[in-house]
Structure 1
Amino acid sequence: MVVIDLFSGAGGLTEGFMRQGFEIVAHVEKDKWACETLKTRIIYHFLKSKNDLEIYFDYFKRVNGYRNIEESRQTIYRKYPEIKEKLQYEVLNKAFGNPLEEKNVTGIDEIIELLEDSLKYKNYSSTDLIIGGPPCQAYSLVGRGRMKDKAETDKRNYLFRYYKEIVKHFKPRMFIFENVPGILNAKKGEVFKSIVDEFKEIGYILLAGTNDDPKECILHASDFGVHQSRKRMILFGFRDDLNYQYPDFKKYAYSFENMTTKNAIGDLPKLKSGQGSDFDTLNYVSNEGESLSAFQRLMRADSIGVINHKSRSNQERDLRIYKKAIEFAESGKRLMYTDIPEEDRTHKNEKAFLDRFKVHMKNEIPHTIVAHISKDGHYNIHPDINQCRSLTVREAARIQSFPDNYIFEGPRTAQFTQVGNAVPPLMAEAIAKAIKEYLNKEISPLYR
């Protein structure tokens, strides 16, 4: 089951498919740090297939910064020299675009040629599946709110055409196009209609779900065992000569009881503002009298400790606001900007973004982790008043369902962006299981 992953990010979608035995022959991703994260994860899966995770754990323990990644990987390369070539073919650090109009982009013909080389490297002549989703900021309601009028002309509204050209060239049996629900409303619905029509022109049917109204087909990550309130569109495309129907993704979902912030991140090492480490491995600690939740046990599997767990250093003013926000949360309320003492307010706007300081309530499901967490942590405050800080990368990754052995490379800002933009791996794995059912033709589809 041969797969190409486009707009790969840190690899959340890939992770789910790799766990189900799909072979990802190539990733195309423009961000260099996300590419380094992809490489590290490919190394992990390679070493796991060799029953040699000890050498991965050695890398896990030796990483002490993002400027010496290749140096830290040398021990792995010396034992498995083939990995270096494997990474060159499987991770393509390229941005789609027109080189005649934009800087630092690669034309579609060159990317297709590179993807052909990746297939040949693995001795494949075709691909079964293409997965991925163009950057979604221009589609998302939050992104469009920040961009205002620019959202209507943003070129990211049309990056799907590069995705379409890849599908047109490689002619996979099907594809998975993941995105935010805002894609349905972008340019008053014109973008989504264009996507459906243009795929139809190249011989592919695109379904948004089992309901004729796409707006009724929005999926919730929490229905897949992800401890997070997160909405997503999973568009399913297939060649029009195939009689496929929209898969029953939820059939393969993980199920956990009490999907709360506490059961997602409550077992991680406790930190105050400025404490922890971006790259050093922190030991797991046991919370006296408390057992691990099923989700926590799953996240800890095949891991020797906690990495990417460094808290931001906050100003005293922010810490005062965080403390007040947590006190409100403990009484079941949300802090509004107007609740903040005037001496701690930074602007006089009392009409917009009144909930910009938001706590992940201890006994409720965490709210959506988005890429803006890389800018500040105000919308992602830890519920423990004794810690009184914003979430770390590892905590955000847990809420996104990334396992603890998943290393995010690059500076912390880049790590946060990778986590916020990712597809939750547990959701991706359920999707992969349903697609594998189709590709193997084991049973008949359930829905039209």
Structure 2
Amino acid sequence: MRRNFKVVDLFAGPGGLAEGFSSLRESSGKRTFDVALSVEMEPSAFRTLRLRAFTRQFEKLPKSYYRYIAGEITRDDLIADHPDEWRAAVDETVMLELGTEKARNELDPRLDHIRETAAGDVILIGGPPCQAYSLVGRARNRGIKDYDAIKDHRHFLYREYIRILGRLQPVAFVMENVKGMLSSRVAGESIFDRVLEDLRAAGGSADSYTLLPLVPARGKQAGHVIRCEDFGIPQCRHRVILLGIRSDVLSGGALDGPGRTLEPVPRVSVASVLEGMPALRSGLSRSEDTPENWRKAVISAFRIAARSSRSEGTWLKAVASALADRAKQIGVMDEIPPRSSSHLVPAKDSRLRAWLSDTRLKALPNHETRGHMETDLARYAFAAMFAEVFERSPKADEYPRDLAPAHRNWESGKFSDRFRVQSWNAPSATVTSHISKDGHYFIHPDPMQCRSLTVREAARLQTFPDNYFFEGNRTQQYVQVGNAVPPLLARQIAEVLSDILDG
């Protein structure tokens, strides 16, 4: 029988890491990893996190949960139906800003209690905020007058993770962050090297924790950069994920050699999770949003895109012709697609279908389109049709001049894929929190829908189960999805860790 471990999740977001860890069960049905505490500071993500903690109190989700995410009852109604389970979720989740004195005063006694009651069988997971490490964040910081990286507390939030690691003394930890951490430097010192040194020494001695690779080493990366598309995630998401085991556990014979690593699986594409879902139309953000106004706006957009493509010469002739044909099809369309749909369509890929689907789910949540400016619809139409013809998203210098946005960096090469289509036959680009801004990087591959991805579509690319409900407004939901660890990847990491600790 495998051991049971208590999990503490820091900087938890909506709970992607915990979802994967808590899904692992023994043949008896008992969880290998029980989430004892999750900590998040952002209110909307915290509401999502607590709701998901609530669902873990049940072996079988109650009917009232499905009614709640379908909008049939309120959150208060749900709580009233299951007060004991809700109290357990409240006890498991806490909204605090890590690194503050208030958080330390409240968390430290709880951490001590978890360590004592679990007899040391504790796992620490989570990832400090990444804005200071990401390439985009660093570029933005360089534009801030008098910006001083040494004074940016976000560079050092990982130290709170280290502090808690030292206090909790878990048998293992998993720490996730952006790939930009590898090249981030403060005062000439490598942040990544400092993080590795601090993690190894978190137990009080220089090598109290041993870092194990999750994938075979690539050059200087020592097996810490995970390419999600290699492990059945329909997304090209590359992240640094550090797995550490307490060295005394390893010296006790639990591991001989480098240990188990993640096992690659065949790549899956955008189509594997999005194809077949009901067509939705985009919204109109700056005019009256009616189906007929949408028809007129999109016909105009397709015609503008077709005319602009023809003006570029023969190389875009096929794109121009296809755009003109689709404009005619939209003109005679009997029914305009809606902006939202709760219709359930399972994923095409069998492995993803088993992970995402819930046969008791009556309505697909968080699946509503956003509004777009009419000036962007022609770019969306061109980009999606270009991808249909050439099987890739166009770069900035491939757009017709008439469709170029009034953006100072458009021709600089810095944002050559500012308008990016997700191709049916390949994994998507990295789903990031930027999807909350405008959707330009996440254009749906079907030209006829002329829109960006919905929250639910982004969540499927991130492998959140279809019954995972995101709280907050739509912008907040996008941020939550973009900042999360793909739960199915977390599940695979949990399997590797379980095998290592089981010896």
User: TM-score normalised to the size of structure 2?
Assistant: 0.76
CA-CA distance at 1:342 after TM superposition: 3.8
Structure 1 pair 136–43 and aligned structure 2 pair: CA distance change class (3 A) = same
CA-CA distance at 1:72 after TM superposition: 1.8
Partner of 1:67: none
Out of 123, 131, 136, the residue aligned to residue 125 of structure 2 is 131
CA-CA distance at 1:52 after TM superposition: 4.3
Separation in 1 of the partners of 2:464 and 2:82? 26
Counterpart residue type for residue 37 of structure 1: T
Structure 2 unpaired stretches of 5+: 25-30, 284-337
CA-CA distance at 1:260 after TM superposition: 1.5
Highest RCO, 1 vs 2 (Cα 8 Å, sep ≥ 6): 1
Residue range with higher mean Cα deviation, 337-346 or 80-89: 337-346
Structure 1 pair 116–269 and aligned structure 2 pair: CA distance change class (3 A) = farther
Alignment partner of 1:241: what SS?
A: helix
Partner of 1:215: 221
Out of 32, 46, 49, the residue aligned to residue 38 of structure 1 is 49
Alignment partner of 2:175: what SS?
A: strand
Partner of 2:319: none
Separation in 2 of the partners of 1:260 and 1:360? 10
Partner of 1:284: 344
Residue range with higher mean Cα deviation, 160-169 or 240-249: 240-249
Q: Where do residues 141-180 of structure 1 align in structure 2 (5 Å cutoff)?
A: 141-148=135-142, 150=147, 152-153=149-150, 154-180=152-178
8 Å contact from structure 2 (residues 9, 124) kept in 1: yes
Residue range with higher mean Cα deviation, 126-135 or 54-63: 54-63
Q: Where do residues 310-349 of structure 1 align in structure 2 (5 Å cutoff)?
A: 310-332=368-390, 333-338=392-397, 339-342=399-402, 345-349=405-409
8 Å contact from structure 1 (residues 249, 430) kept in 2: no
Report Cα offsets for 1:23-63 as digits up to 9, x if no partner.
Answer: 1110011111111111121222223x1x3432321222236
Separation in 2 of the partners of 1:202 and 1:59? 43
Partner of 2:262: 250
Alignment partner of 1:428: what SS?
A: helix
Structure 1 pair 52–111 and aligned structure 2 pair: CA distance change class (3 A) = closer
Structure 1 pair 115–334 and aligned structure 2 pair: CA distance change class (3 A) = same
Separation in 2 of the partners of 1:331 and 1:358? 15
CA-CA distance at 1:117 after TM superposition: 6.0
CA-CA distance at 1:77 after TM superposition: 2.9
Partner of 2:19: 15
- Given the alignment of the two structures, is residue 80 of structure 1 paired with residue 77 of structure 2, yes or no? no
Separation in 2 of the partners of 1:388 and 1:377? 11
CA-CA distance at 1:330 after TM superposition: 1.4
CA-CA distance at 1:395 after TM superposition: 0.5
- Indicate the structure (1 or 2) with the bigger Cα radius of gyration: 2
CA-CA distance at 1:127 after TM superposition: 4.7
Partner of 1:299: 356
Cα RMSD after superposing both structures: 2.5
Counterpart residue type for residue 339 of structure 2: G
8 Å contact from structure 1 (residues 89, 117) kept in 2: no
CA-CA distance at 1:343 after TM superposition: 6.1
Partner of 2:292: none
Counterpart residue type for residue 393 of structure 2: R
8 Å contact from structure 2 (residues 210, 246) kept in 1: no
Out of 417, 433, 438, the residue aligned to residue 355 of structure 1 is 417
CA-CA distance at 1:75 after TM superposition: 3.6
Report Cα offsets for 1:161-187 as digits up to 9, x if no partner.
Answer: 101111111111111111122111110
Partner of 2:444: 382
Separation in 2 of the partners of 1:250 and 1:356? 33
Partner of 1:273: 282
Partner of 1:392: 454
Structure 1 pair 263–151 and aligned structure 2 pair: CA distance change class (3 A) = farther
CA-CA distance at 1:344 after TM superposition: 5.0
8 Å contact from structure 1 (residues 265, 296) kept in 2: no
CA-CA distance at 1:124 after TM superposition: 4.3
8 Å contact from structure 1 (residues 127, 171) kept in 2: no
Separation in 2 of the partners of 1:29 and 1:439? 27
Partner of 2:238: 231
Partner of 1:202: 202
Separation in 1 of the partners of 2:196 and 2:56? 35
Residue range with higher mean Cα deviation, 131-140 or 9-18: 131-140
